[in-house]
Amino acid sequence: MPSGDQDQVLSRDVEIGSGFNRLRLCRTGITLYNRNDIYVGRALQAYGESGQIKLDLLSQLVRPGNVVVDVGAHIGVHAIALAKVVGPTGAVIAIEPQRLLVQSLSANAALNSLTNVFTLHAAAGEKVDQIIVPGLNYDVENNFGAVELGHYTEGEAVPLMPLDNLPAQSCQVLTIDVEGMELAVIRGGTRFIERFRPVMYVTNYRKEKSAALIGYIMGLGYRLYWNIAPLFNPQNFYGNPENIFGNTVTVGMVCLPPGDTTAVEGRQITSPADVWHGGASVSVDAARMD
């Protein structure tokens, strides 16, 4: 196919594919996704983007030439976008434990001709081990980004690795969205974090785990700020005014290392007991939108 002809085949109104996978032209480029994913897939289909408000923030934290480590990369919507920001002199290391999501993640890097995306089929955790990823039926609707690992006994055994063992030479930005395993990832990456002092974006919507997570990151000398990002972006890529996600938000923390004077929008977290204040009409998204 001659250069540029793909835009004649794929457009905002056209998708191709069979089975559960679909290919569509989205904000971050040509994107392969599962049409049965009730958050990421629905967002890409309706808006041509997923988690864009959060991604806009991440893009402001990243610079050309940076190394970004994306833990819980899903199909790579955010990894692909950030790879374009860091450019050919930078890199994105994308870690994802679900094999079929890794397939789509790698496909999305290839479809966009990105040579600076390095995918790892693994889970990040506190120690070297294996972890079971359950067998999921991708032919039926599900929230495929909300699989909480650590308690399954049947499924695929996937390597569990601490970030301390990651053979990276630098890291300026670290994102972690791992369905309740955030503290384990940070514990297993303490030396990594102390060595590189990256800016971190850490998902934190589980109230029962929040205090321990905040306390540990504060103990590393970081300043933390709440980031509450609605799933619906009124300025979405397709210009679709319909809000299919209502008041659902993602809850995360921007974590700045000692000496970093970056201005961050959002309320500073003052203690481990600090909580984000969602009103009764606000629901928390348990999906990875990347």
* Res 152: pLDDT: 75
What does the pLDDT read at residue 2?
43
Residue 115 has pLDDT above 90, yes or no: yes
In the chain, pLDDT over 90 holds for what percent of residues?
77
Give 143-183 pLDDT, tens digit per residue.
667 767 767 778 899 999 999 999 999 999 999 999 889 99
pLDDT tens track for 177-198? 998 899 999 999 999 999 999 9
From residue 80, how far is each of 112, 118, 137, 220, 228 by CA, in Å?
8, 11, 25, 29, 22
pTM of the shown model: 0.91
**How much is the pLDDT for 16?**
77
Residue 251 has pLDDT above 90, yes or no: yes
Residue 289: per-residue pLDDT? 56
CB-based contacts of 18: which residues, under 8 Å, 6+ apart? none
Q: What is the pLDDT of residue 124?
A: 97
Residue 14, pLDDT score: 64
Domains belonging to the chain, first-starting first, are 50-256 (3.40.50.150)
